Amino acid sequence: MFWFVKKVEMKTFLLRFGITLSVLTAMWFAFSRIPAKQSFQYLAKGNFDEEKFGELAMDAVFMESEELKSDSVDFVMNKMVNRLSEGNLFSSNKFHIHVVNNNEVNAFALPGNHVVVHSGLIYMCDNPEELLGVLAHEIAHLEKRHVYERMRTEGLITLIEGAVAQGGGATVATAVGELAGLAFSRDQENEADEVGFTFLTNSNIRPNGMATLFRKMKEDSDMSGYIPEFMSTHPELESRALNIESKCAGLSNTFVPVMTQEEWENFQVNLRLAL
């Protein structure tokens, strides 16, 4: 038996994308594309096919936001993820980075080693190190299995099991929707900061990019009163930025730029041309 969510309802739900909300929305879509019983089997302990589920989740993301692809955009994104992969001995094709056309300042990780980056976030970054800080942070969430742990510990599997037992369909949607406001725990965010910082230094990348980006977002929100989803789902932003800056203070200045400032600005222009 299949169950479906009205397109207008999904669009309203997806507009509230945050880190956690994005993951759960993708799950919602994914469950609408396979039988309810099979959906639960994907999530059952020991039977969760992360790669398959990740593919379904990415299909959901692309239904809402177009993926931006061009030779120039792909070249830069591959250059960034390859730098992180080489520095940390990851296989070259382990992580899948997707840039989508969405003005919301956001990025999030999904099962199957997918990282989705909104174009709005790239435009916010003044240099490649700021974007690399975000990528390292999201890859850390994947490497530490925070996405799966959140699904398990926050009761998603239990709720889905109960929903299927009650008939699936709209009950499953309700169960998933109840978890829409959940985010990574404070410990998980702090761990992703620490691990992401190490990923950057291992790759000889200046690691203060995340801190400078967070500070810029905070300044913008103080002036406008608007707090982006990407920022609001990361608690204690100020203390985390200070922690990153403190760790940077003890490092030698021997980092190798990923690209020149001119190359970065050309990338941002090419991204707009890919729209």
- Do 68 and 129 meet the contact criterion of CB atoms below 8 Å apart? no
Asked if pLDDT for residue 98 goes beyond 60, the answer is yes
As a whole number, mean pLDDT of residues 222-240 equals: 57
233 neighbors 108 (Cβ within 8 angstroms): no
Range 248-265 average pLDDT: 90
Averaged over 214-220, what is the pLDDT? 77
pLDDT of residue 156: 59
Q: What pLDDT band is residue 177 in, cutting at 50, 70 and 90?
A: very low
When pLDDT is averaged across residues 208-214 and rounded to a whole number, the result is 89
Query: Residue 136: pLDDT band by 50, 70, 90 thresholds?
Result: very high
Bridge partner list, 114: 96, 110
Under 8 Å between Cβ of 121 and 107: yes
Mean pLDDT, the chain, as a whole number?
74
pLDDT at 116 over 50: yes
pLDDT (tens digit per residue) in 18-40: 444 445 545 555 555 545 455 55
How far is 114 from 58, CA to CA, in rounded Å? 8
**Could you tell me which of 114, 7, 14 has the C-alpha nearest to residue 58?**
114
Judged against a pLDDT cut of 90, whether residue 210 lies above it is answered with: no
- State residue 175's pLDDT score: 40
Would you list the DSSP string of 87-130?
HTT--TTS-EEEEE---S--EEEETTTEEEEEHHHHHH-SSHHH
Query: Chain centroid to CA 147: how far?
Result: 10
For a pLDDT cut of 70, what percent of the chain falls above it? 64
Residue 155: pLDDT band by 50, 70, 90 thresholds?
low
* Residue, of 9 and 78, whose pLDDT is higher: 78
